[in-house]
């Protein structure tokens, strides 16, 4: 099935030289893409990020509206809580999430919580489309810290919102116009803490999605990133086949081998039990 507009998207994720486990997860499809970053310093961040994105995409098959997206994210978050209830050693695990989704009306739904970011490149100009849910962002907003100093602040990784399976968890969902030729970059803070915006725009303007994602990750590592590094690059294009199976990267690829179809079969079996 072809749509007037869809996503041509690619993702790259690297554990980096300073971490033993990749806690980042990402997925791409023709109608949605996202990055999730397991919260550093907590237990099982890689489980939180990978479980959330797999459950989210297990319940979706194509463009969705705001209400459907909110329901899918709520169910995925419940999975995190269920895991903690079964294994207390996972208590405290959490993940950020930043994703773009096509709606049936042809708009882009941008979902965000935490400090992973979304950037939009349109007509040669790049804009940051998310606000970090972080302690340092609060300092910037209050004028205590300048924007130029935020990336090097010693508490830059302290976040104020994430997904941890709680009823109080919140994801902001906003609607954006979708325009042919737009390019979205979704990235973990292993990218944004180490590459300035001007470096990102040079990469994004020059490469195809997979090459751009690879280049972003490579340059972040060359810049000395001490975190996991994940980049998702999405082009809004015409005549995209929407019903293609999503591709997972990072922890979501490493930790789960079952397909979306397998997850659905498990759900049907549980429902009939």
Q: Is the pTM of this model over 0.75?
A: yes
Burial class (CB in 10 A: 0-12, 13-18, 19+), 135: middle
- Quick check: 173 and 118 in contact, CB under 8 A? no
Quote the DSSP letter at residue 90: G
Q: Which residues of 197-224 are buried (b: 16+ CB within 10 A; e: fewer)?
A: eeebbebbeebebeebbbbbbebbbeee
Residues linked to residue 163 through DSSP beta bridges, in sequence order: 95
pLDDT tens for the chain, 273 residues: list them: 445 799 999 999 999 999 999 999 999 999 999 999 998 666 799 999 999 999 999 988 899 999 999 999 999 999 999 999 999 999 999 999 999 999 999 999 999 999 999 999 999 999 999 998 755 555 655 655 556 555 655 556 667 889 999 999 999 999 999 999 999 999 999 999 999 888 899 889 888 999 999 999 999 999 999 999 999 999 999 988 776 789 999 999 987 654 444 544 544 444 443
Cα within 13 Å of Cα(94), Cβ side: 20
For residue 225, give the 3-state DSSP assignment. Answer: coil
- Quick check: 121 and 181 in contact, CB under 8 A? no
Angstrom distance (rounded) from CA 83 to CA 76: 11
Query: H or E segment at 58?
Result: helix 45-58
Fold of 2-257: Phosphatase 2c; domain 1 (3.60.40)
């Amino acid at each position: 099935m072809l749509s007037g507009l869809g996503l041509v998207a690619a993702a790259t994720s690297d554990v980096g030289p300073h971490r033993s486990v990749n806690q980042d997860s990402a997925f791409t499809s023709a109608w949605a893409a996202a990055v999730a970053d397991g919260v550093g310093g907590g237990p099982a961040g890689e489980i939180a990020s990978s479980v959330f994105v797999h459950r989210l995409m297990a319940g979706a098959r194509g463009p969705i509206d705001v209400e459907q997206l909110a329901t899918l994210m709520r169910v995925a978050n419940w999975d995190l809580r269920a895991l903690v209830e079964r294994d207390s050693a996972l208590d405290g695990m959490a993940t950020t999430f930043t994703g773009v989704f096509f709606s049936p009306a042809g708009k882009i739904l941008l979902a965000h919580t935490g400090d992973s970011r979304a950037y939009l490149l349109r007509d040669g100009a790049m804009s940051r489309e998310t606000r970090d849910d972080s302690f340092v962002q609060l300092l910037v907003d209050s004028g205590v810290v300048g924007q130029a100093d935020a990336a090097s602040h010693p508490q830059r990784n302290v976040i104020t919102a994430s997904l941890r399976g709680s009823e109080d968890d919140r994801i902001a969902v906003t609607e954006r116009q979708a325009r042919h030729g737009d390019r979205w970059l979704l990235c973990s803070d292993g990218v944004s803490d180490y590459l300035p915006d001007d470096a990102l725009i040079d990469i994004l303007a020059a490469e195809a999605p997979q090459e751009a994602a690879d280049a972003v990750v490579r340059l972040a590592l060359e810049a000395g990133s001490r975190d996991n590094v994940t980049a998702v690059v999405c082009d809004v294009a015409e005549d995209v086949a929407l019903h293609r199976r999503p591709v997972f990267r990072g922890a979501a690829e490493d930790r789960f081998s079952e397909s979306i179809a397998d997850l659905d079969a498990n759900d049907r079996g549980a429902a009939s039990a």
